[in-house]
Amino acid sequence: MYTQIYILDTAEQLNVRRANNNNLDPVVIDNLQTMLLDNYPYIGHYCHAYELIREKLVKEQEEITIRLYMNLQQD
């Protein structure tokens, strides 16, 4: 697991989620995001992948494919 936790723009994430799911209660979307960020054991991996993508040029970002593999034999 990564020792450094990358901080994502959670306000931006919420705005995107609310726009894509305007039929859902925004408070529920906020609560779900908070629970995932606080409890999901692989959040550091996703945050690291996000940072790697953001370091690339915008044109290159559109062409990147990232797969996260987890060993299900371990916690």
Average pLDDT by consecutive 10-residue portion of the chain (75 residues)?
A: 50 85 90 87 82 84 77 73
Instruction: Write out the residue range of the structural domain in which residue 69 sits.
Output: 1-75
For residue 4, what pLDDT is reported? Answer: 42
Q: How far apart are CA 53 and CA 62, in angstroms?
A: 9
This prediction's pTM? 0.53
Q: How far apart are CA 62 and CA 31, in angstroms?
A: 29
* Number of structural domains in the chain: 1
